[in-house]
A and B are shown apart, each in its own frame.
Chain A
Amino acid sequence: QSALTQPASVSGSPGQSITISCTGTNSDVGAYNYVSWFQHHPGKAPKLMIYDVINRPSGVSNRFSGSKSGNTASLTISGLQAEDEADYYCSSYTTINTLDWVFGGGTKLTVL
Chain B
Amino acid sequence: QVQLVQSGAEVKKPGASMKVSCKASGYIFTDFYIHWVRQARGQGLEWVGRINPNSGDTKFAQKFQGRVTMTRDTSISIVYLELSRLQFDDTALYYCLRGAGTTFDSWGQGTLVTVSS
Q: CB distance A52 to B59 under 8 Å?
A: no
Q: How large is the interface on A (under 10, 10 to 19, 20 to 34, 35 or more residues)?
A: 20 to 34
Q: CB distance A34 to B103 under 8 Å?
A: yes
Summarize B's interface: helix, strand, loop or mixed: strand
List residues of chain A with CB under 8 Å of any chain B CB: 2-4, 6, 34, 36, 38, 44-48, 51-52, 57, 89, 91, 93, 97-106
In the complex, 26 of the A-B residue pairs with CB atoms within 8 angstroms, ordered by the A residue number, are A2-B43, A2-B44, A36-B102, A36-B104, A38-B107, A45-B106, A45-B109, A47-B107, A48-B104, A48-B106, A51-B100, A51-B103, A93-B102, A97-B62, A98-B59, A98-B60, A99-B61, A99-B62, A100-B59, A101-B37, A103-B37, A103-B45, A103-B46, A103-B47, A105-B43, A105-B44
List residues of chain B with CB under 8 Å of any chain A CB: 4, 35, 37, 43-47, 50, 59-62, 65, 95, 100, 102-110
